[in-house]
Structure 1
Amino acid sequence: MALDIVIMAAGKGTRMRSSLPKVLHNLAGRSLLQHVLQNVAALGADRIVVVTGHGADAVEAAVAAPQVQFVRQMPQLGTGHAVQQAAPLLHDAGTTLILNGDVPLIEPATAAALVAACGGERLALLTVLLDDPSGYGRIVRGDPAGRSATEGGRVQGIVEHKDASPAQRLIREVYTGVMAAPTAALKRWLGALRNENVQGEYYLPDVVALAVADGVAVVTERATSETEVLGVNSPLQLADLERRYQRRQADALMEAGVRLADPARFDLRGTLDCGSDVEIDVNGVFEGRVVLGDGVRIGANCVIRNATIAAGALIQPFTHIDGEALGVQVGAGAQVGPFARLRPGAVLGDEVHIGNFVEVKNSTLGRGAKANHLAYLGDATVGARVNYGAGSITANYDGANKHRTVIGDDVHVGSNCVLVAPVTLGAGATIGGGSTISKDAPAGQLTVSRAKQLSLAGWKRPVKVPKST
């Protein structure tokens, strides 16, 4: 029996007050629609249909994938009308799960339970209990006349808040906008929808009454929490959902033993795998895939993306690590920062020290190497126990091509040196401070390249000429 998934993503999102389609706004580093697609990936659907409309080109380009098909809803005439556009692509035999592209945090287990509740025979609605259900459609149970509108009994329909009686407004169980239906029956109900309402739109919840009239059982599945069914209609709601999501990630990490200085000041925008005894100070931002080994300590205000940091390493405050596609590796016991920057391809060996205002890109540093102050290492291979002086740089770009610098073990590079690649410094070499090195430096020798120092007797410093009046 086929499983089809329809995701409604055609709305403009007027209250977002943005030119960006609502479903492309980011939550924890991914768009709302990407969250929905990721959460249902494990269901193994035979077909996923995304209904686009406002900003359709941008939406379709952003989430294009082999398993995703698109249909367009032009104009947008309600949720029922949206699913009508997808209906021709749905398999007749099976179940259709209908989701909203602006409700990003539905749990895979919840979606699977709803599909199971449908079983290809029943109309299954996802509901949630709210302390304040104002504005939501209430689940009406009891006899067809609604005389027993309790939270027990068979579902008879959904009544919108504005249409609800005082008794019905006391109902705490509300419809979330998510349903699973037998596809053949769903197609029939969609064809029977009417737009005889103030908005002149076709409402998907109207299929509930049609199912009841057909004698099809209407069942419910309860969401585990309010958070997983909250939609986004404004920047305020997006920010609220962001904090809810981040707190959920923080709680999971702390339950696994990670020590967060303040879970309210933590942001995870990807995946974070932590060993034991990891400590993370305030305002850390983790993006892409980050792995922290046992005993790693992350200082305040660090941004770390696509990096693996080995056991016992210390990342001091205000450090920026961005591995992009190549990644960054930090060895065991290394120290980085404060105010350091590691770029793609940086590989630091064990016990390496990278200090304040040092930038490393596409370079490998051997065990115990140090670059403690105000330096740049780009496209370099640095040996063990190297001391790389303050203000020194590798000049790795000739205006057209990148070239590599090789620094052997135990080299000492003095302050304010320029290493013009391609160049090799032999093991144990010493480079005198202020040198510009454009030729290979022999192992074990002192190499100096700088102008002779002169002192000019009788030289006068220029003075400011008074302005004429």
Structure 2
Amino acid sequence: MKAIVLAAGQGTRIRPLSASRPKPMLPVADRPLAAQTVDTAVDAGADEIVLVVGYEGQTVRDYFGAEYRGVPVSYAVQTEQAGTAHAVNAAREHIDGPFAVLNGDNLYDPAAIDRLFTECPAVCAAEVADPRNYGVLSTTDDTVIDIVEKPEEPPTNLANAGAYAFPADAKEWLEVPASERGEREITDVLARVIEQYAVTPVTLERWLDVGRPWELLEANEWKLAALERRIDGAVSDAAHLEGRVVVEEGATVEPGAVIEGPVLIRSGATVGPNAYVRGATLIGEDVSVGNGVEVKNSVLSRGTSVSHLSYVGDSVLGRDVNFGAGTNVANLRHDDADISVTVKGERVSTGRRKFGVVAGDGVKTGINTSLTPGLKLDTGAMTEPGETVEQDR
């Protein structure tokens, strides 16, 4: 079965992290988010991957190439962001039989995707506490009989998880009219399939739609928890490594460093001396963590430097960020309330008691900068030495 993976969106809700690369190419453990999805499809038996690209599409092409893990890779271009059915329709020339559709910015339970491919036609569902913001599936006798978008009174708690296995006929049903919100929805295609086929609901044990910065942190928490300890890099005898820790070849851990897994230290990175890295933390390629730095439950992207005597907690830092010495991230409110972050101009609760900052590519802080919880620092933003930053910039 061919797997169509949607990777064309701009990822506006996760900015500034997606300011210069597609959201599906943001790092989750040792590979981009989209590669986690493609790996799941390959493991489920996909015999070809079709990646639908658009925004910064060359980044996707450069990573996957013409073949990935021995499976051919093709590309389709979505020239405008006009909905999920529009995206899949961009790949119609590649469809010559049953096909699966997966979102390149979602993480799926691999066992469920295996079953999705086997049960075609099928749709993945997730049991959620409040399904009103989802497409909601109704079922009988293990068959989907209806889907309704964002109902005020949901008939079930089964949310559409955005993973589908369609029969070949569905290729002819992809050109759907625009919905009330102006998009061509893949759920309209699913509704047509439900009318003509017995569609199997496949319940996901775990599923994550990565749309906002703290969800990228959650994605890394999920995948880093599955690490198997491996030490290929240079680790000082005077360093202490505990639990699920991976130090890739070409990485260095200096004397006095304490690493408590799950932690992934990628090639070219340097940690220490006397640094403390814990939680679920990704230290990306060529990252520098300086003397006496503490990093907790965070993502540090490629080329970032956190200078000595700094603290970074529950944060996501983009590429080539430079935190000056003594930069401290606050990740907890005094009133113990959940941290909120600005998303597309509105303050949105992360649902997390602890969350630090989101720093876009190239952010620089002056020495002894203090950053308050829930801050977003845009691409290239700078702070002054000794400054306390309380508002996004």
Q: Could you tell me the TM-score, scaled by structure 1's length?
A: 0.49
Figure out how many residues of one structure are paired with residues of the other and give that number.
Answer: 258
> What residue is the counterpart of 1:199 in the other structure?
181
Q: Check 1:306–1:209 CA distance in 2 against 1; reply closer, same or farther (3 A cut).
A: closer
User: What amino acid maps onto 2:177 in structure 1?
Assistant: R
Q: 1:128 aligns with which of 126, 129, 150?
A: 126
Counterpart AA for 1:194: P
Structure 2 CA distance for partners of 1:100 and 1:304, relative to 1, 3 Å:
closer
Structure 1 residue 238, shift from structure 2 partner: 1.0
Query: Alignment partner of 2:3: what SS?
Result: strand
Shift of 1:114: 0.7
The answer to whether the aligner puts 1:182 opposite 2:172 as a matched pair is no
Alignment partners' CA distance in 1, 2:245 and 2:22: 25
Could you list the structure 1 runs, at least 4 aligned residues long, displaced by more than 4 angstroms after superposition. Answer: 302-307, 315-320
Rounded to whole Å, the distance in 1 between the matches of 2:164 and 2:247 is 33
1:187 Cα shift? 0.7
Indicate the SS of the match to 1:83. helix
Aligned partner of 1:102 in structure 2 is 105
Over residues 18-54 of structure 1, what are the superposed CA-to-partner deviations in whole Å (9 max), with x where a residue is unaligned? 3121111111132111111222222342221000011
CA 1:305–1:31: 2 relative to 1, 3 Å: closer
Partner of 1:139: 137
1:141 is displaced (CA, Å) by 3.2
- Contact 1:79–1:202, Cα closer than 8 Å, also in 2: yes
How many Å separate the matches in 2 of 1:209 and 1:305? 44
| Residues 129 and 167 of structure 1: CA distance in aligned 2, closer, same or farther (over 3 Å) | closer
* 1:245 CA displacement: 3.0
Distance 1:174 1:234 in 2: 19
Quick one: distance in 2 between partners of 1:34 and 1:175?
22
Summarize the Cα distance change of 1:167–1:222 in structure 2 as closer, same or farther, 3 Å threshold: closer
Task: Tell me which residue corresponds to 1:237.
Answer: 215
Q: How does 1:313-392 map to 2 (within 5 A)?
A: 318=275
Q: What is the RMSD computed on CA atoms of the aligned residues? A: 3.4
Alignment of structure 1 residues 411-450 onto 2, 5 Å: none
Structure 2 unmatched ranges of 5 or more:
232-239, 251-255, 278-282, 286-290, 293-393
The answer to whether the aligner puts 1:218 opposite 2:196 as a matched pair is no
Cα shift at 1:319: 10
Larger Rg: 1
SS at match of 1:166: coil
* Matched-pair contact (CA < 8 Å) for 2:136–2:154: no
Deviation string for 1:185-221 (max 9, x for gaps)? 1112214x222x22322100112221233x3111111
**Is the contact between residue 11 and residue 211 of structure 2 (CA under 8 Å) also seen in structure 1?**
yes
1:234-273 Cα deviation digits (max 9, x unpaired): 1121112222333x32xxxxxxxxxxxxxxxxxx5xx534
TM-score, length basis structure 2: 0.58
Q: Which amino acid aligns with 2:11?
A: G
- Secondary structure at 1:187's aligned position in 2? helix
Aligned-pair identity (%):
27
Q: In 2, Cα distance between the equivalents of 1:173 and 1:319?
A: 42
Q: Distance in 1 between matches of 2:32 and 2:101?
A: 19
